[in-house]
Structure 1
Amino acid sequence: MKPSRMPASTGSQETGVVANAGMHPEDAERVLAMLDLVRASTAAHAFAVVLPPSGADVVQALARHCRFAHGALLVFPEDHDAVLSFLGTLDVTADGRKSSVVVRDRLARRLHMPAGELEVGILHCATTCADGRQRELELFVLERQAMRGVSGLDQLVASERLHWHETHLAFELWACDEVVLRGVYDTLVGTGGMSPDGGGYNQHLNVTVLYFAAEGRTSQGWPRRLELTVPGEHGAILAAHLGRPELVPDRPARDLLRLMTGAWRTQAVAAFAELGVADHLLDGLTSTTELAAATGTEADNLSRLMRYLASEGVLTQDQDGSYALTEVGELLAGGVNGSLRDLALLYGGAFYHSFEALAHTIRTGESAFLKMFGEAPFDYFAHHPDHARLFERGMAAGSSFLTAVPAALDLTTVRVVVDVAGANGRLLSEILRAAPGARGVLFDRPHVIEAAPEVLAGLGCADRCDLVAGDFFADPVPSGADLYLLSRILHDWDDDRCAVILANIRAGITPGTRLAVVERPVPATDSDSLAFSYDVHMMVNNLGGRERTVAEYRALLHAAGFELDAEHPLPLDMAVLLARAV
Structure 2
Amino acid sequence: MDLVNVVTHAIESAIKTATSGGFAEASRVVLLEAATKLVSALQKPEDAITKLAYWPSQFMATRTLLELGVFNIIVEKGRVTSSELAETTKADKILLERLLRVLTAAGYVAEPDESSYAPNGLTKALATRPMGGLVEAIFDGGMKPMALLPEFLRKTGYKNPDDQADGPLQYGLGIDKVDLFTHMVDNDHKLLSSFQTFFEADRGSRPAWVDWFPVKQKLLDDSTKPVKDDSILYVDIAGGRGHDLLAFKEKFAEYPGRYVLHDLPQIADDQTLQLGDRVEKIGFNFFEDQVISGARLYYMKFIMHDWSDEKCLIILKNVTASMKKGYSTLIIEDFILPVKGCALLPAMWDMEMMSFLSAMERTERQWQELLTKAGLEVEGLYPPPGDGTGIIVTRLKE
TM-score, length of structure 2 as denominator length: 0.81
Residue 381 of structure 1 corresponds to 184
Task: Check conservation: 2:137, 2:195, Cα contact below 8 A.
Answer: yes
Q: CA deviation at 1:494?
A: 0.5
Change beyond 3 A, Cα 1:400–1:463: farther
Residue 429 of structure 1 corresponds to 246
Matches within 5 A, 1:305-384: 305-334=99-128, 339-363=130-154, 364=156, 365=161, 366-371=166-171, 372=173, 373-374=175-176, 375-383=178-186, 384=188
Report the AA paired with residue 172 of structure 1: V
Task: Check conservation: 1:268, 1:305, Cα contact below 8 A.
Answer: yes
Task: Check conservation: 2:261, 2:282, Cα contact below 8 A.
Answer: yes
Task: Check conservation: 1:341, 1:397, Cα contact below 8 A.
Answer: no
Residue 71 of structure 2 corresponds to 278
Q: Tell me the distance in 2 between the aligned counterparts of 1:529 and 1:299.
A: 37
Report the AA paired with residue 517 of structure 1: I
SS at match of 2:378: strand
Residue 531 of structure 1 corresponds to 346
Residue 220 of structure 2 corresponds to 412
Change beyond 3 A, Cα 1:517–1:231: farther
Matched, 1:445 2:264: yes
Report the AA paired with residue 122 of structure 1: S
Q: CA deviation at 1:361?
A: 3.6
Report the AA paired with residue 249 of structure 2: L
Report the AA paired with residue 270 of structure 1: R
Matches within 5 A, 1:93-108: 102-103=12-13
Q: CA deviation at 1:103?
A: 4.7
Task: Check conservation: 1:278, 1:332, Cα contact below 8 A.
Answer: yes
Q: Tell me the distance in 1 between the aligned counterparts of 2:359 and 2:196.
A: 18
Task: Check conservation: 1:529, 1:573, Cα contact below 8 A.
Answer: no
Task: Return the match for 2:61 from 247, 268, 275.
Answer: 268
SS at match of 1:349: helix
Of all paired residues, the percent bearing the same amino acid is: 24
Task: Check conservation: 2:269, 2:281, Cα contact below 8 A.
Answer: no
Q: CA deviation at 1:572?
A: 5.2
Q: Tell me the distance in 2 between the aligned counterparts of 1:314 and 1:105.
A: 17
Report the AA paired with residue 562 of structure 1: L
Report the AA paired with residue 59 of structure 2: T
Matches within 5 A, 1:180-259: 209=35, 230=37, 233-235=40-42, 251-259=44-52
Residue 158 of structure 1 corresponds to none
Report the AA paired with residue 266 of structure 1: F
Task: Check conservation: 1:535, 1:547, Cα contact below 8 A.
Answer: yes
Task: Return the match for 1:463 from 270, 277, 285.
Answer: 277
Residue 363 of structure 2 corresponds to 549
Name segments (4+ residues, structure 1) moved above 3 Å.
101-107, 229-232, 399-403, 411-415
Task: Return the match for 1:122 from 14, 20, 34.
Answer: 20
Residue 321 of structure 2 corresponds to 507
Cα deviation 1:129-152 (Å, max 9, x = unaligned): xxxxx646xxxxxxxxxxxxxxxx
Report the AA paired with residue 272 of structure 1: L
Change beyond 3 A, Cα 1:535–1:121: closer
Higher strand share: 1
Report the AA paired with residue 505 of structure 1: V
Residue 398 of structure 1 corresponds to 202
Change beyond 3 A, Cα 1:359–1:554: same
Q: CA deviation at 1:362?
A: 1.8
Task: Check conservation: 1:432, 1:439, Cα contact below 8 A.
Answer: no
Cα deviation 1:436-489 (Å, max 9, x = unaligned): 2332111122123234x544x3xxx42211112211111122111010001100
Q: CA deviation at 1:576?
A: 1.5
Change beyond 3 A, Cα 1:283–1:435: same
Larger RCO, structures 1/2 (Cα 8 Å, 6+ apart): 2
Residue 224 of structure 2 corresponds to none
Change beyond 3 A, Cα 1:121–1:261: closer
Q: Tell me the distance in 2 between the aligned counterparts of 1:406 and 1:334.
A: 23
Cα deviation 1:197-251 (Å, max 9, x = unaligned): xxxxxxxx7x553xxxxxxxxxxxxxxxxxxx6376112xxxxxxxxxxxx6xx2
Structure 1: unaligned runs, 5 residues or longer: 1-100, 108-119, 127-133, 137-169, 174-204, 210-228, 236-247
Change beyond 3 A, Cα 1:562–1:573: same
Task: Check conservation: 2:383, 2:390, Cα contact below 8 A.
Answer: yes
Q: Tell me the distance in 1 between the aligned counterparts of 2:258 and 2:87.
A: 50
Q: Would you say how many aligned residue pairs link Structure 1 and Structure 2?
A: 356
Task: Return the match for 1:492 from 306, 311, 317.
Answer: 306
Whose Rg is larger?
1
Task: Return the match for 1:518 from 333, 341, 347.
Answer: 333
TM-score, length of structure 1 as denominator length: 0.56
SS at match of 1:422: coil
Change beyond 3 A, Cα 1:304–1:533: same
Q: CA deviation at 1:359?
A: 2.1
Residue 565 of structure 1 corresponds to 379
Higher helix share: 2
Two-structure CA RMSD over aligned residues (Å):
2.8
Change beyond 3 A, Cα 1:429–1:501: same
